[in-house]
Chain A
Amino acid sequence: MSSFLRHFFSRPTALFGFCIFAVILVIALAAPLIFSHGPFTIVGMPLLPPGAPGLVAGSDVLGRDMAIGLAYGARISLLVGVTSTLGAIGIGVLLGAVAGYYGGAVDDLLMRVTEFFQIIPTFVLLMVLVAFMEPSLASAVIGIALISWPQVARVVRGEFLSLRQREFVQAARVLGLSDASIIFTQILPNALSPIVVISSMMVGNAILTESALSFLGLGDPNLLSWGSMIGGSRSAMWVAWWTTVLPGLCIMVTVLALNFIGDGLNDALNPRRRR
């Protein structure tokens, strides 16, 4: 494990991504401790620029503290990103593992289902799903999980297709192990590296997708996220740049950090890339 960490942190981009993500995570978790108000509390005049007395990041169109909004927005963005990714991983791993392990007709059927999800414009599907379920935190999470599992299923299926040929898997069959225990205790641990890599990237994607949903007003109306902050302030974009640029920057930096982490994990987990 220590050699894995050493390889991971030896890449400056991975180290940078990890630090940025850690800072964002701490701010998100500690938001109620740092700030005395909630994100919807009006603290002063609207559209005060950053640096105004008591307002590090200025105020928005309704006179709410942007800094508090950004910190609470991080909670929602990260929550949606992580939970929807976990959901997508769950669906994708299960279907990909079954398709790859059994092959044949099962594989054909499951892959056609996967392709169905891959060929329709995913964002349109997502908007339909969320609108159908009523916009809320849960519907965003479910919707994003439902549109992002196919790539996990593809990757996991590929890993299983090659791993099931390995002699240790044949040995497990000869020993009389059940299919479920071969899939979960023999093959899956060997397929974890690409799953870990892909999930770090997916969290970033999910944050972007959630922002897009919230920007369009399909987010949870009772919660403030980075996307809904941009959506709510777009009318003031030309007079108060900070209302849209700051949450946008937050999204960009978070996604960038997650991609750096993903690249770093990919290199550290792939023995052939190690030097």
Chain B
Amino acid sequence: MPLVRVQDLTVALPPGADRAKAVEDVSFEIARNRIVCIVGESGSGKSLTAHAVMGLLPRGVTATAGSILFDGVDLLKEPPEALRRRRGRDIAMIFQDPMAALNPVVAIGRQVTEQIRAHRAISESQALKQASEMLGQMGLKNVAGLLRAYPHQLSGGQRQRVMIAMALSLSPRLLIADEPTTALDVTTQAQILALIKRIQTEREMSVLLITHDFGVVADMADTVAVMRHGRVVESGDVKTVLGSPAHSYTRALIAAVPKGESRLGPPPQGLALMKVEGLTKRFRRGGLLSRAPVVTALDDVGLTLCRGETLGIVGESGSGKSTLARCVIRLLDPDAGQVWLDGADIAQMKEKNLRPLRRRIQMVFQDPFSSLNPRQRVGDIVIAGPRALGEDEARARARAADMLRLVGLNPETMNRFPHEFSGGQRQRIGLARALMLKPDVLIADEPVSALDVTVQAQVLKLLDDVRRQMNLAMLFITHDMRVAAEICHRVMVMRHGRVVECGPTSEIFANPATDYTKALLAAIPGRQAL
């Protein structure tokens, strides 16, 4: 008998939601001592399915049909009190954002022991001993110091390890992990996934892993269920599903995963359009009276960029890649260095002199939900730049209609508000806004990291097409090596505010010169399998 058998599960959404049922007739099994992955795009119902198993559906959302048999007992029919005792003891869960899941004002030690003592009648000191053992097993160093620390003092990877330690402290038989590595850097992600796999084998537990990433599926899963619009479209053994997917949606999803191979030819030759030299930026933390340490976010960074070329800036969070973009486009003022644009240094230019030049460098932002003004109509958003330069409104609107068409949107969208669009559509609007000014340089700061993989592929293709058509020089910031391979002629790897190495994409991927780049490449999930 499998540990968990989900049978015809249907979860209804409250009236007024965009669809009546979040999950419909979903059936799958979690065998003992196995890892099951549910993979799907946002809105597929994968997360709600996991929450239903945990008995933690949000208010107003209820399981209306089907059963969830855990060791033969239907969880949907269990009284709330029994279910509460089961959570943590039999089934434990870790979440995407460990910062949100930890209490920010309680020390780590208290949080771990509290969890243990809620289920077991043991003394504080015994619980503390058990907690430090658990944290040690999670590969955490300096456990004694960690127990006294607060969540904000830990790195993302450390927090997720603490969460896993808490989840495992009562030896549950099923661990549910809801996108446990989505908020983490790629190397940390690889470590956390390896940790989950290791403890799963050691403790012979079952794991239900929710993810959007087929790379993670390839590395982790024994069996996989692909979900779309609340239904399971395909499930089975991981090798079968990935090797010979039966459903067209699965095929499309797998095809959309960037393969981590350079697709573009050699970088175009030509005169440098933009040249950055010795760019340095320091951040001073603390207030007037505290002599807090100075953080060097950018340390003597240089690069050149030609017309028609895409340069990828890759690195983990905190590597300074976003600071670099913001210094180049002068959203931040660099402390030292030059940014030459056609022979003029804009790095130290006064805002007044800079304003007419701003047109030439434009930017596409990361977050499709905060990068468009929610109170403005799409048309007004797109023409704001040309209007500021004094372009006639009627003319700007006519151009905006063409531009929206170019980025693949219907010009009628001009009269609508941003919230009426999906993430991918919003990124297209953001791109149209940038292109309206006919820039020479386009900076794209993680433009696809918030998007589903199929939408991601479309937006990447659009960016590349636009780059070609308008002969743009593009600076593409990303933490995802696979995405960089897809769209960049050259790649610059950054770490701790410094350039680690820089070269043509195919060379960097084939022969990385530094250990750091090798580690980044090795951490790409599913590199061998996909």
**A residues within 8 Å of B by Cβ?**
166-168, 170-178, 181, 186, 189-190
Contact = CB atoms under 8 A, between A and B. Distances in A.
B384 A175 contact: yes
The residue in A172, A175, A177, A189 that gathers the most chain B C-beta atoms within 10 A of its C-beta is A175
A176 B433 contact: no
Contacts of A178: 355, 388
A148 to B, nearest CB: 26
Contacts of A170: 331, 363, 365
Nearest to B375: A189
B243 interface: no
Interface stretch (B110-118, B122-130, B175-183, B366-374): B366-374
Contacts of A175: 358-359, 362, 384-385, 388, 433, 437
A181 B388 CA distance: 9
10 closest residue pairs by CB, A with B? A175-B385, A167-B371, A176-B358, A189-B375, A167-B365, A168-B373, A166-B370, A167-B370, A177-B388, A176-B355
A263 B324 CA distance: 45
Nearest to B366: A167
A187 to B, nearest CB: 9
Given A176-B356, A190-B374, 20 more contacts: A166-B370, A166-B371, A167-B365, A167-B367, A167-B371, A168-B371, A168-B373, A170-B363, A170-B365, A171-B372, A174-B358, A175-B358, A175-B359, A175-B362, A175-B384, A176-B389, A176-B437, A181-B388, A189-B375, A189-B376
Nearest to A179: B351
B388 A168 contact: no
Interface in B360-410: 361-363, 365-367, 370-376, 384-385, 388-389
B244 to A, nearest CB: 42
Contacts of A174: 329, 331, 358, 361-363, 434
Interface of B: 329, 331, 355-356, 358-359, 361-363, 365-367, 370-376, 384-385, 388-389, 430, 433-434, 437
B373 A186 contact: yes
A176 B365 contact: no
Contacts of A166: 370-371
A176 B354 CA distance: 9
A256 to B, nearest CB: 32
Contacts of B375: 189-190
A134 B1 CA distance: 90
B388 A171 contact: no
7 contacts: A167-B370, A168-B373, A170-B331, A171-B372, A176-B437, A186-B373, A186-B376
B383 to A, nearest CB: 10
B358 A171 contact: no
Contacts of A172: 373, 384
A171 B430 contact: yes
A171 B371 contact: yes
A168 B329 CA distance: 15
A166 B367 CA distance: 9
Contacts of A186: 373, 376
A168 B331 contact: no
A196 B93 CA distance: 42
A174 B363 CA distance: 7
Contacts of B371: 166-168, 171
B365 A171 contact: yes
A231 B105 CA distance: 52
Contacts of A167: 365-367, 370-371
A103 B355 CA distance: 20
Nearest to B430: A171
A125 B375 CA distance: 39
A173 B388 CA distance: 11
Contacts of A189: 373, 375-376
A258 to B, nearest CB: 26
Contacts of A181: 388
A190 B373 contact: yes
A189 B434 CA distance: 22
Contacts of B430: 171
Contacts of B366: 167
A177 B365 contact: no
Contact of B370 (A168, A173, A176): A168
A172 B331 CA distance: 11
A181 B367 CA distance: 23
A84 B376 CA distance: 30
Contacts of B363: 170-171, 174
A135 B252 CA distance: 78
A181 B383 CA distance: 14
Contacts of A177: 384-385, 388
B347 to A, nearest CB: 16
Nearest to A173: B331
Nearest to A189: B375
A168 B372 contact: yes
A189 B372 CA distance: 13
A132 to B, nearest CB: 36
A175 B388 CA distance: 8
Contacts of B437: 175-176
A178 B356 CA distance: 11
A33 B330 CA distance: 63
A166 B361 CA distance: 19
B385 A176 contact: yes
A241 to B, nearest CB: 51
A89 to B, nearest CB: 18
A106 B453 CA distance: 44
B341 to A, nearest CB: 14
